[in-house]
Amino acid sequence: MADGQIVVSGLTKLYKNVRAVDNLSFTVAPGRVTGFLGPNGAGKTTTLRMMLNLVKPTAGEATIGGHRYADLTDPLRHVGAVLEASSAHKGRTGVNHLRVICAAAGFPRQRADEALALVGLTPAAKRKFKGYSLGMRQRLGIAAAMLGDPRVLILDEPANGLDPEGIRWMRDLLKSLASQGRTVLVSSHLLSEMQLLADDLVIIAAGKLVRQGTVSQVMDSMAHTAQVRVRTPQATELVSALKSTESATVTPNGDGVLLVTGVDAPTVGRAALKAGVELHELTTERPDLERVFLELTAGKAAIR
């Protein structure tokens, strides 16, 4: 596999009455963490499962390093996957679970210990899986995915059910794996999580691509939703002054506060100066990602 780029082109999955994934195309670059974002039911899991040859696409294809997953010889050495509800034999210890996978895949036995160390599970290596907390199970799932030292790591909502410390641990691990040049694709329905973790974002809703780019490109693409917050004891005068700038939309927010969209803060300031209006506050409020995300995906949840 030349590099770990993932290319999704025209990927489509139709279930009986749902277009789970709808002509979806995007790329995922090596050396970066890509957040695959969408509300519940957006088609994230279906897309990831099609990449991994676990679900057959209705149309389109996904390639990893130029090959379809099904055509990879020794896929576990190229692609590690952590899917939802990863599981292990309940009575087996963590280290034995990994050794079984090593034996089946032809990996050296010590990879099990190395992978456990990577995810910080060495102290729990000899405990039985049934006694593992959710966070420990997630760590073991990542350890299993890393056994083949893959260039590409695909994780489906790995932060689900983790406590804040577990989430921070996961974030640091995934960032460091990406900094080693690996491709890290991680799905989530929470934008706040991806804001801290991802370099790039792919946002989908109802199976369709909504946005793709770096986190800041996605933000900038929504920059027109930035609003200016202005506070004045002469709200009425300012509102009529702003009415003369054709593109401003003004929403009074009580207590002399006006929220202005469609113009930038300097324009509001100049209008106020010209009208002799006293200002007590003038701030540009950039939309946070969560708001951007909700606006982008609002009302687009797939029919269930």
Residues 6+ apart with CB under 8 A from 105: 76, 147, 148
Question: φ, ψ for residue 286 (rounded to 5)?
Answer: -75, 140
- The yes or no reply on residue 40 touching ligand ADP (CB under 6 A) is yes
- Among ligand ADP, Mg ion, none, partner that 18 touches (CB below 5 to 8 angstroms by kind): ligand ADP
Nearer to Mg ion, 21 or 173 (CB): 21
CA distances from 3 to 31, 67, 181, 286 (A): 10, 10, 9, 37
Which residue among 34, 45, 212, 232 contacts ligand ADP (CB under 6 A)? 45
Site size toward ligand ADP (CB under 6 A) is 13
- Among ligand ADP, Mg ion, none, partner that 40 touches (CB below 5 to 8 angstroms by kind): ligand ADP
Query: Going residue by residue from 40 to 59, which x/- string records binding to Mg ion, judged by CB under 5 A?
Result: ----xx--------------
Residues between 3 and 22 with contacts to ligand ADP, criterion CB under 6 A? 15, 18, 20
CA distances from 211 to 30, 92, 106, 271 (A): 19, 43, 40, 35
The alpha-carbon radius of gyration of the chain (Å, integer) is 24
- The yes or no reply on residue 43 touching ligand ADP (CB under 6 A) is yes
Least distance from C-beta 57 to Mg ion, angstroms? Answer: 17
- Whether residue 13 contacts residue 55, with contact meaning beta carbons closer than 8 Å, is answered with yes
Nearer to ligand ADP, 14 or 226 (CB): 14
Q: Segment contacting Mg ion (CB under 5 A): 37-45, 250-258, 271-279, 285-293? A: 37-45
Nearer to ligand ADP, 38 or 57 (CB): 38
CA distances from 188 to 35, 114, 132, 191 (A): 7, 27, 23, 7
- The yes or no reply on residue 163 touching ligand ADP (CB under 6 A) is no
Residues 6+ apart with CB under 8 A from 64: 1, 4, 5, 6, 51, 72, 78, 79, 152
In the complex, the residues that contact ligand ADP under the rule CB under 6 A are 15, 18, 20, 38, 40-46, 302, 304
